[in-house]
Amino acid sequence: MFRRVLSEKRKTGSVPVYLNVYDLTPINGYAYWFGLGVYHSGVQVHEVEYAFGAHDFPTTGIFEGEPKQCPGFTFRKSILIGRTDLGPKEVRALMGKLAEEYTGNTYNLITKNCNHFCNDACLRLTAKPIPRWVNRLARIGLFCNCVLPAGLNKMKVWRHKAEVGICEGEKKNLRSHSSRFVPSSSSSSILIQRRPVL
């Protein structure tokens, strides 16, 4: 007699990992329904949202802040990507490792934007990618690169200037709540915080 063996579904972790998606333009209200749009995204884990933005320095472009509250963007939706067993310190160590690759001066709207960062972070946290529609316009732009204006590839959607001032699109009162820290790794990169580390 054959025994039917049921495979147990492997647990993927206890801590939820969300992708928070923001609209970059009001046109997204219409484009979203056609599977298009221009989006900013951040990865939320342990009640902290990590995202990637541009600046002119070879230090990290990764910053953290309050979930669903990224200044300058309109929150659209939160998507559960998966779960992780990494604790807060391990997540910050992972972000420190990603900080070496995602420096502010390497940001590119088509080839290395906030959605690319979120996809990499989600793959490392949950082994699952972000939904394809979130970064579809960048993929289309990659194939239509010769048709796009030359300046678009170097366009910086969101700039944070760690060393010289406040972010474009941010209100001045947010500056008093910003602080920086050096990741625990040996890297000299800094993560830009939207709230102080306690």
Q: pLDDT tens digit string along 110-166? A: 899 999 999 999 999 999 999 999 998 776 654 444 444 444 444 444 444 443 333
Domains and CATH numbers, the chain: 15-193 (3.90.1720.30)
Catalytic residue among 55, 70, 114, 160, which?
114
Catalytic residue among 40, 55, 116, 160, which?
40
Terminal CA-CA length for the chain: 62
Q: Tokens representing 125? A: 């946290």
Give me the helix-helix angle, 88-101 and 114-126, nearest 10°: 140
* Alpha-carbon span 58 to 56, nearest angstrom: 7
Is 114 an active-site residue? yes
Express each pLDDT in 167-192 by its tens digit.
333 333 333 233 333 344 433 344 44
Is 40 an active-site residue? yes
